[in-house]
Amino acid sequence: MKSILSTIIFQMSIISMGAVSDKPDNYAFDGPGISQYLFEKCPVADGFDFPVGKPNARGYYNAQKFGKNLHLGDDWNGNGGGNSDLKDPVYSIAHGIVISAKREPQNWGNVVRILHNTGTRQKPVYIESVYAHLDKIHVRRGKAVRRGQKIGTIGNVGGVYLAHLHLEIRDTINKAIGDGYDRITTGYLNPTRFIKKSRPRYRKRKKTRRAKIRK
Q: What CATH number did the domain enclosing 59 receive?
A: 2.70.70.10
Boundaries of domain holding 160: 27-203
pLDDT tier for residue 16 given thresholds of 50, 70 and 90: very low
Summarize the confidence of residues 59-63 as an average pLDDT: 98
Residue 208 lies in a domain: no
Summarize the confidence of residues 1-27 as an average pLDDT: 57
Residue 10 lies in a domain: no
Residue 161 lies in a domain: yes
Residue 181 lies in a domain: yes
* CA distances, 7 to each of 21, 69, 70, 150, 168 (Å): 18, 44, 41, 48, 38
Residue 115 lies in a domain: yes
* pLDDT for position 95: 98
Whether 15 shows a pLDDT value over 80: the answer reads: no
How many domains, in total, are found in the chain? Answer: 1
Is the previous residue joined to 55 through a cis bond, with omega within 30 degrees of 0? yes
Residue 168 lies in a domain: yes
Summarize the confidence of residues 41-63 as an average pLDDT: 98
Residue 180 lies in a domain: yes
* pLDDT for position 184: 97
Please state, rounded to an integer, the average pLDDT across all residues of the chain.
90
Residue 1 lies in a domain: no
